Amino acid sequence: MDVVEMDAASITASTNPRSHRRRPLPPVKARFKVYILDEVHMLSKPAFNALLKELEERPSMWKFIFATTESARCRSRSCRAASASICGASIKRFC
């Protein structure tokens, strides 16, 4: 419940990102509420502008993770495969 995945490609109206602002839900068990925006490179221009405003005025209990497959917009990092227990421990520390 404290991690919400959103498909950014389906966010086309500028009001969609702001809809979470009207009802800021606190985290249930973790320190933070984490929003994962998948395919963030697919946001429409109005939705992207609304998201920037949302990031500027977000509650401190919210964290955002942006995921994209467009390599030109990413920082390149070499990563090694991690076990599920290591991933789980990292997510718990983050949250």
pLDDT in tens, 12-63: 665 555 555 556 678 888 888 888 888 888 888 888 888 888 888 888 888 8
- Total structural domains in the chain? 1
Domain range for 84: 3-94
Distances (CA, A) of 76 to 28, 72, 73, 81: 33, 9, 9, 16
> How many angstroms separate the CA atoms of 16 and 10, rounded?
10
For residue 76, pLDDT over 80 is answered with: no
CATH number at residue 41: 3.40.50.300
Q: In whole angstroms, what is the distance from residue 32 CA to residue 50 CA?
A: 21
* Helices marked H in the chain: 19-22, 45-56, 84-94
